[in-house]
A and B are shown apart, each in its own frame.
Chain A
């Protein structure tokens, strides 16, 4: 029943993903979305996110180990993987590439209402100039047809941010270069003392 859900992302989950992309401006980055279906079953609540990689995104071993560890950690909190975030290498690339689609497909198998979010660089760039409250991401969903469809702004597959002032907060973090503090799974694998949960990030 894909393509019919609404997606509501928490400010922290949202900001983490964008900051991660800003930390690694010259490479593609990705992350997983965690959450649950709302009790009324009409909204997928994205409550958290984990930034994954900024190098060799098309390789399996690191992806597999990260998903195992992430799933295990969040299962104890009653939360599971509900989607995937991707930011392309190039500023003007709005295509959902094959790597992103493959990873999205994998997540879809476990959670058919999964969403794939793609960073929208134009929107991100325009943030300081306007009062846009909508997320700087495009959202894709799929159904059994195996095609990831871009959601239109009036479509039912909408992405909203839970906290309306999230973009203001994001801009503030950008101006203080908060993206320097983000730790992703790549960082963790290079130095396991770095925590991919980013527990101190928003304190």
Chain B
């Protein structure tokens, strides 16, 4: 997950490099650090460094990291020959390396040779059964073949051992959401919030899932988590503000005719509506009247 500042930093660097302003190596390092997927750019700029012997040697030991990064980017762009060449270079330099072995198996995956890739990963796992990256490749392969139940099974097993792997919990949650298994997705977000309570994205995702599940109790809890998201983001999260309005409206609908003992205080929703209108007025004024009408239809007044 990348913050807005990091995203801006990355875009700026990317534009700079694209327009011939240099900084290719910094860009590639940042992509690696943020673990984002910019395969076409990585391939283009990485290759231009690698193909120039002067640039290459000035990298020192980082040269091999670059070969690895470019190999993976090449596979993502289906430039398998480039990937093969990079891997060959790495194999020559590090003949016994498990890391290179992983790349070779990844190449099999990219080719669609699932069985061979599976064999390669299994043998790599024999020597190192706790290799997290390989376990995750198995999940990725299942997902790539559309075998969602296997992906879920592998991920759950993985998480029994590596329960602190937040990326894995998020991946599992996303798979559950795509299969409309919202209760299970909620459980994943609960785990994430427990271990990292200050990360607003988890609060937001949890609220979204609860809202989707529906029912008065879930809606009330969703509202709380939209509120905590707003708290953690200093009121700047548009999705959470909308979430409050949606929840209030839905809760209002469900509570019609029930006893009004636990009637919601209208302050939170009007605060959210005001915040939204203020935001739109400042940043997207042409959409302001549309927003106001929408909020009115949700019976949420500013």
* Residues on B with beta carbons closer than 8 Å to the beta carbon of A193: 283-284
Assuming A65-B246, A69-B291, is B212 touching A58 (CB within 8 A)?
yes
Query: 9 closest pairs, A vs B, by CB?
Result: A60-B212, A58-B177, A59-B208, A192-B284, A68-B294, A65-B242, A61-B211, A193-B283, A59-B212
Chain A residues near B211: list those with CB within 8 A: 59-61
CB contacts (< 8 Å) of B110 on chain A: these are none
Is the Cβ of B174 less than 8 Å from the Cβ of A93?
Answer: no
- Within the assembled complex, what's the spacing in Å between the Cα atoms of A193 and B281? 11
Can you name 10 extra interface pairs (CB under 8 A) apart from A59-B212, A62-B242, A68-B297?
A56-B208, A57-B178, A60-B211, A72-B290, A73-B290, A98-B180, A99-B180, A189-B238, A192-B284, A193-B284
Interface size on A, residues (CB 8 A): 28
| B208 neighbours in A (Cβ, 8 Å) | 56, 59-62
Cβ of A90 and Cβ of B279 under 8 Å apart? Answer: no
Interchain CA distance A61-B180 in the complex, whole Å: 14
Contact with A along B198-220 (1 / 0, CB 8 A): 00000001011101100000000
Across the interface, do B284 and A195 meet the contact criterion of CB distance under 8 Å? yes
Nearest to B296 among chain A residues (CB) is: A72
Q: How far is the CB of B12 from the nearest CB of chain A, in Å?
A: 15
| Nearest neighbor of B293 in chain A, beta-carbon distance | A72
Interface residue A26 (Cβ < 8 Å from any Cβ of B): yes
Size of the chain B interface, CB-CB below 8 angstroms: 32
Whether a CB of chain A sits under 8 angstroms from the CB of B99 is no
Binary per-residue interface labels of chain A (61-76) against chain B in the complex, 1 for a CB within 8 Å, 0 otherwise: 1101100110011000
Q: CB within 8 Å of B: which residues of A?
A: 26, 28, 56-62, 64-65, 68-69, 72-73, 89-90, 92-93, 97-99, 102, 189-190, 192-193, 195
Whole-angstrom distance between the alpha carbons of A189 and B205 in the complex?
Answer: 14
Residues of B participating in the A interface, judged by any CB pair closer than 8 Å:
37, 144, 146, 174, 177-180, 182, 205, 207-209, 211-212, 238-239, 242-243, 246, 279-280, 283-284, 286-287, 290-291, 293-294, 297-298
List 30 contacting pairs A-B, 8 Å CB cutoff, sorted by A: A26-B37, A56-B174, A56-B177, A56-B205, A56-B208, A58-B212, A59-B177, A59-B209, A59-B211, A59-B212, A60-B211, A60-B212, A61-B239, A61-B243, A62-B239, A65-B242, A65-B294, A68-B294, A68-B297, A72-B293, A73-B290, A90-B144, A90-B146, A97-B178, A98-B179, A99-B178, A102-B180, A189-B242, A190-B238, A193-B283
Complex Cα distance, B294 from A73, in Å, reads: 10
Q: How far is the CB of A100 from chain B (nearest CB, A)?
A: 11
The distance in angstroms between the C-alpha atoms of A20 and B243, with both chains bound, is: 25
Residues B146 and A68 in contact, CB atoms below 8 Å apart? no
Bound Cα distance A57, B298 (Å) = 22
Instruction: Return A32 CB to nearest CB of chain B, in Å.
Output: 15
Are A72 and B294 CB-contacts (below 8 A) given A62-B239, A93-B146, A195-B284? yes
Q: Decide: A61 and B290 in contact? CB cutoff 8 A.
A: no
A60 and B246 alpha carbons, distance in the complex (Å): 10
Contact across chains for A192 and B293 when beta carbons are under 8 A apart: no
CA A68 – CA B246 in complex, angstroms? 11
Q: For A61, A89, A102, which residue has the most chain B Cβ atoms within 10 angstroms? A: A61
Measured CA separation A120–B31 after assembly (Å): 32
- Which has the most chain B C-beta neighbours within 10 Å: A28, A58, A65, A69? A58
**Chain B, Cβ-Cβ closest to A90:** B146
In the complex, residue of chain A having the shortest beta-carbon distance to the beta carbon of B40:
A177
CA distance A72 to B212 in the complex (A): 22
Across-interface contacts of A98 in B (CB, < 8 A): 179-180
CB <8 Å contact, A61 and B284 = no
Is A68 within 8 A of B298, CB to CB?
yes
User: Which partner residue on chain A sits nearest B249 by CB separation?
Assistant: A64
Other-chain residue from A58, A62, A102 in contact with B178 (beta carbon distance below 8 A): A58
Q: Which residues from chain B contact A68 at a C-beta distance below 8 Å?
A: 294, 297-298
CB-based contact A192/B239 at 8 Å: no
Residues of B within 8 A of A97 (CB): 178
Question: Which of chain B's residues has its CB closest to A92's CB?
Answer: B146
